[in-house]
Copies of this chain bind each other. A is one copy, B any other.
Amino acid sequence: MMASISPTLERADSNLPESLERLFDLVRIPSISTDPAYKADCRRAAEWLASELQGLGFEASVRDTPGHPMVVAHHASGHPGAPHVLFYGHYDVQPVDPLNLWEVSPFEPSIKDIGGGRKVITGRGTSDDKGQLMTFVEACRAYKETHGSLPCAVTILFEGEEESGSPSLKPFLEANAAELKADYALVCDTGMWDSETPAISAGLRGLVGEEITITAADRDLHSGMFGGAAANPVHSLSAILAGLHDAEGRVTLDGFYDGVEETPSQIKAAWETLGQTAEKFLGEIGLSVPSGEKGRSVLELVWARPTAEVNGIWGGYTGEGFKTVIAAQASAKVSFRLVGKQDPAKIREAFRAYVTSKIPSDCSVEFHAHGGSPAIQLPYDSALLNTAKMALSDEWPKPAVVIGMGGSIPIVGDFQKMLGMESLLVGFALSDDRIHSPNEKYDLQSFHKGIRSWIRILDALAA
């Protein structure tokens, strides 16, 4: 039986001003990982974090990689037998341009009252991901200061290349698998459902990217001289792309739905309670009619169903005015979002077979692969998830929901495949945080209640 959690939560409350000062210190370091000009700043951020963690009693070090360094830290648990968690976050941030669109300086953090009782922390990285990772560090601090120990054994991994494709991550996980392996991974790089409703992300769609170029004649043709007799590759391409979906909005590729499972009905029912509608979801972007598979809610469509989308198309004359040309080539970039156990290699193969079957016999097609990763479906009802769900529900005004994510977080797959660990994706960002854009912010409440949430989760996991 654990001691009451109240003193720790109170400690987090009273620590808040200093917790903010520490976050500000970290935000002030312009650790932009894509820009070589900020290489030293990235290292400085890593060193700052290692030093903070050492101050908390972690065995922490800055670990070199071919790119920006990792920070790895370990702390034993005060409770023998308590689980061992690996916490992941990233200290690097996106570039800040266009700088002239910032209302405040990106690396001079401040607290701003935005009305309606909301205060926000401004600055690049406040939400993605410095503010989020510091919720965990400050949770550890409050726990340590109250109990002299931590409820779980904690390993921390902070990456400095998340915003530039994580080139060093896999080799690092591989080389340090034994050291990094824990019972669970805690990943804090996601968002809330809304400002009152915490969320755990359980499904992350995978992705297959393909670029195709169809070649017809060996040169661009005059449509007056050849139109009506010569193959037009834009016509083939249009027919191919139009044929990717049937009238029900389903993707037509052979075997496309192999490995796609229905979302459990209790999860769908929970999503219903969120009050999301097509009108609301699409209304924000100027649309109103769901375009995908018929008979499914928008949340199901973007969280739990696979898709085929054309991301780019080009061919022929695209400038001002008109040119009656029949292009020699036409191209498209097409991506598939995957769910469940869909196999990226099989989807790619089915797509290529479909395209090839539709190409006129005197035309040719070239394919270029752009990445492929399977979906990650975390359990909807594991002990880890249910524990976190209750802990979060205790902290926030509304109960936690388990949601899907339209995009992917590759680290979660790596943890699963390389370290055999289930991940828990909990984060406190809000959809209006403007991550990657000018005027990034993080709600003061996200930071404060985020710290308190981690205290509750760690405490519950140890119980």
Contacts and interface: CB of A to CB of B under 8 A. Distances in A.
Interface in A228-274: 228-232, 234-235, 237-239, 241-245
18 contacts: A218-B285, A221-B285, A226-B302, A227-B302, A227-B335, A228-B301, A228-B305, A228-B306, A231-B287, A231-B289, A238-B238, A287-B362, A309-B324, A310-B316, A311-B325, A314-B314, A316-B333, A324-B335
The 7 closest A-B pairs by CB, nearest first: A224-B407, A218-B286, A312-B316, A238-B241, A224-B406, A322-B370, A242-B242
B362 A230 contact: no
Interface stretch (A4-12, A116-124, A178-186, A209-217): A209-217
Sort chain A's interface into a size bin.
Answer: 35 or more
Interface in A289-333: 289-293, 298, 301-302, 305-307, 309-318, 321-327, 330-333
Nearest to A234: B310
A244 to B, nearest CB: 8
Contacts of A316: 310-313, 333
Contacts of A322: 209, 211, 311, 333, 335, 370-371
Nearest to A218: B286
A225 interface: yes
Contacts of A318: 312-314, 331, 333
B325 A317 contact: no
A282 B362 contact: yes
A167 interface: no
Copies of this chain held together in the complex: 2
A357 interface: no
Contact of A311 (B230, B323, B363): B323
Interface string A192-232: 00000000000001010101000011110111111111111
